[in-house]
């Protein structure tokens, strides 16, 4: 259709493009030949060995845990968690508005600085909860064995209120990074870098 045949005065005929010259490929050419042939790994011939130190008992979960969570890493978590707790508790109203984890009365309980033993217990409960899954956190402190299982390893190690407090303030990075996020979107590596730098020597050493 052209403008002379259309009753629409605003009609603009489409631009006619000339076909591009297509370079002739050599006889027998196939793009598939450019793709490298896949060669599956023969797992039966693969030889590997662990990099665990000979002095470490590889059958001990606690010994394997300490390869990654060294005393230096635990100290860093303690420092960041305590600083984060003090920072948040100076302005609890604003904290509750920004974070759904602060919407209950547990934030008003007295806070005492977390210790290394408490952090280790807290991390242990996280691992335990990953294995023994419950629909609600409170179920791990259940006392009625008829409604749901009673988790004695957690009940006998840490109270629910203290666990909730540590979970609320738990931090593995310097809380000062949170202030930078108020003016721009904080990149994930900015928050985990401090802990990664502590863990990296362990990976390099073993």
Q: Taking 70 as the threshold, does the pLDDT of residue 186 lie above it?
A: no
Q: Output the pLDDT for position 92.
A: 61
Decide which of 198 and 88 is more confident.
Answer: 88
Comparing C-alpha atoms, which of 171, 168, 173 is closest to residue 111? 168
The pLDDT of 44-54, averaged and rounded, is 74
Which position has the token pair 């052209």?
2
The pair of structure tokens assigned to 35 is 């793709």
**71: CB partners within 8 A, 6+ apart:** 116
Instruction: Evaluate whether 128 touches 153 at the Cβ level (below 8 Å).
Output: yes
55: DSSP letter? T
The pLDDT of 1-12, averaged and rounded, is 62
Confidence tier at 105 by pLDDT (50, 70, 90):
low
**What percentage of residues in the chain have a pLDDT greater than 70?**
63
Q: Output the pLDDT for position 192.
A: 46
Confidence tier at 191 by pLDDT (50, 70, 90):
very low
Instruction: Evaluate whether 72 touches 198 at the Cβ level (below 8 Å).
Output: yes
Helix, strand, coil: what percent of the chain each, to 5? 55, 0, 45
Instruction: Evaluate whether 191 touches 177 at the Cβ level (below 8 Å).
Output: yes
In the Cβ-directed half-sphere of 193, how many Cα atoms lie within 13 Å? 9
Domain ranges for the chain, please list them: 61-205
Q: Output the pLDDT for position 178.
A: 59
2: DSSP letter? -
pTM: 0.58
The dihedrals phi and psi of 10, each to the nearest 5 degrees, come to -95, 5
Comparing C-alpha atoms, which of 50, 114, 54, 112 is closest to residue 81? 114
Comparing C-alpha atoms, which of 97, 84, 94 is closest to residue 165? 84
Q: Output the pLDDT for position 184.
A: 47
Instruction: Evaluate whether 181 touches 89 at the Cβ level (below 8 Å).
Output: no
Q: pLDDT digits over 130-184, tens only?
A: 999 999 999 999 888 777 789 999 999 999 999 999 999 999 888 776 555 444 4
Characterise 57 by phi-psi region: left (phi > 0), alpha (psi -120 to 50), beta (else).
beta
Decide which of 9 and 103 is more confident.
Answer: 9
């Amino acid at each position: 259709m052209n403008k002379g045949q259309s009753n629409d005065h605003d009609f603009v005929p489409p631009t006619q493009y000339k076909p591009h010259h297509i370079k002739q490929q050599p006889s027998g050419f196939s793009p598939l030949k450019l793709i490298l042939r896949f060669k599956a790994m023969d797992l039966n011939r693969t030889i590997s060995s662990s990099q665990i130190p000979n002095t470490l008992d590889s059958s001990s979960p606690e010994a394997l845990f300490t390869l990654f969570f060294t005393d230096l890493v635990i100290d860093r978590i303690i420092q960041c968690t305590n600083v984060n707790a003090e920072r948040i508790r100076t302005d609890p109203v604003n904290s509750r508005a920004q974070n759904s984890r602060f919407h209950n009365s547990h934030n008003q309980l007295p806070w005492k600085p977390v210790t290394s033993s408490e952090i280790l217990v807290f991390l242990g409960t996280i691992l335990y909860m990953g294995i023994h899954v419950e629909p609600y956190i409170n179920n791990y402190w259940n006392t009625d064995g008829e409604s749901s299982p009673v988790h004695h390893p957690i009940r006998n190690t840490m109270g629910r209120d203290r666990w909730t407090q540590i979970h609320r303030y738990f931090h593995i990075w310097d809380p000062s990074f949170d202030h930078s996020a108020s003016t721009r979107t904080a990149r994930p590596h900015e928050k985990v870098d401090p802990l990664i730098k502590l863990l990296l020597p362990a990976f390099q050493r073993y």
